[in-house]
Amino acid sequence: QVQLVESGGGLVQAGGSLRLSCATSGRTLSLYNMGWFRQAPGKEREFVASIRWNADRTYYSDSVRGRFTVSRDNAKNTVYLQMNSLKPEDTAIYYCNIVRGSAYNYPADDSWGQGTQVTVSS
């Protein structure tokens, strides 16, 4: 329902950092639990991280926990993903979406945006 635009991707060397943004100029994001997902070629889209609507809790996949940090600024209708200590395995297109479920790791909408490409060189 919310039109989301991902940005901030790029090419970075292993060990480097990148910050992704997920923003909308339409409906406010303040009412939604938001998550980040990624998809590499030939693989299914997978959960990366999520944050509750009021930012009181965050959730991470085992593969990124300790390296990535999800945050949000509801006043700016923006969700962020700070990616540190990047690895080649992190290479994928990154998407944001509303999340649902008790684990806050399941997309609520099958309609995905353009995503933003993250490429990590070895």
Confidence of residue 114 (pLDDT cuts 50, 70, 90): very high
pLDDT digits (tens, 9 = 90+) for 79-95: 999 999 999 999 999 99
Nearest C-alpha neighbor of 68 from the set 91, 49, 51, 52: 49
Phi first, then psi: what are they for 114, rounded to 5°? Answer: -75, -25
pLDDT digits (tens, 9 = 90+) for 45-77: 999 999 999 999 999 999 999 999 999 998 899
User: In the β-sheet with 18-23, what is the strand arrangement from edge to edge?
Assistant: 5-7, 18-23, 78-83, 68-73
